[in-house]
Amino acid sequence: MISRRHLTAGLALAVPATLAGGGLVSARGGAITLFAAASLETALTAIGRSYRDRPGAPLRLAFGASSAMARQIAQGAPADLFISADIDWMDWLQARGGVVAGTRRNLLANRLVLIAPKASNVRLRIGPGMPLAAALGGGRLAVADPAAVPAGKYARQALTHLGVWDSVQARLVPAENVRTALAYVARGEAPLGVVYATDAAVEPRVRVIGFFPDASHRPIVYPAALVRDSVAGRAVLSHLSSPAAMASFRAQGFRQP
């Protein structure tokens, strides 16, 4: 069995999680809940379908901005595993005792792209001083919230490195997560957006204008770790690093770090 739900920054969960130091526990009678970055939804849903026929506890998937999910876990949300879209939020959670010692690993890597609606005729070469503000016309640039959400933070780093951040900073549509930014462009509500390459690959209503140079932002790394230690949780974490799961991640456009 696999179920999904989405988390937002305002969600309050009262059920406490068992954090690091509590010892190994059995997951019998309950599902294993994986909190994951929104950009992983398509890939993890596919992997989850293949995992549901395995013996053990059922798997529940919850998706949202890494920032919101890390905060929810720190407040006691009942997560068993967490996959962040950047190292910072995993560091933040680990510093608060929210990660089981010795289980953290860098699972995946990604790339950053500039996208437009499929029917758009915008052409732009990504590079220093590119006329991004002019390419927006009278519209705005869709990005995940650069103040907290990893995709938005990477976007700000890249645009700053290329010398165009100041020209578009006041013309952003900050979204709660990267999939929401993707949706703004897919629906034609924003003429351009910055998302992960894997997000653009699963949305037929957008096209990729270009890739941001890897050197223009910090490496996009997805660390994974247990939040609540259990036999079933360790089995899920191990499966996510298996050759079969990695093949599925690669098919969705993810890379290994």
pLDDT in tens, 53-67: 676 678 899 999 999
Per-residue pLDDT of the chain (257 residues; tens, 9 = 90+): 334 444 433 322 222 232 222 233 333 347 899 999 999 999 999 998 877 767 667 889 999 999 999 999 999 999 999 999 999 999 999 999 999 999 999 999 999 999 999 999 999 999 999 999 999 999 999 999 999 999 999 999 999 999 999 999 999 999 999 999 999 999 999 999 999 999 999 999 999 999 999 999 999 999 999 999 999 999 999 999 999 999 999 999 999 99
Tokens 């996009």, located at residue:
220
| pLDDT tens column, 112-137 | 999 999 999 999 999 999 999 999 99
Tell me what pLDDT residue 50 has.
78
List of domains in the chain: 2-109+221-251 (3.40.190.10), 112-216 (3.40.190.10)
Contacts of 202 (CB under 8 A, 6+ apart): 42, 252
Give ∠ CA 51-54-70 in degrees, rounded to 5. Answer: 45
Q: Give CA–CA dist 181/161, Å, rounded.
A: 21
Task: Report the relative pairing of strands 112-117 and 206-211 from DSSP bridges.
Answer: antiparallel
For 52-111, where are the alpha helices, taking DSSP H only? Answer: 66-74, 87-95
Reported pTM: 0.87
Tokens 């098919």, located at residue:
251
Task: Report the relative pairing of strands 206-211 and 81-83 from DSSP bridges.
Answer: unpaired
**What is residue 91's three-state secondary structure?**
helix
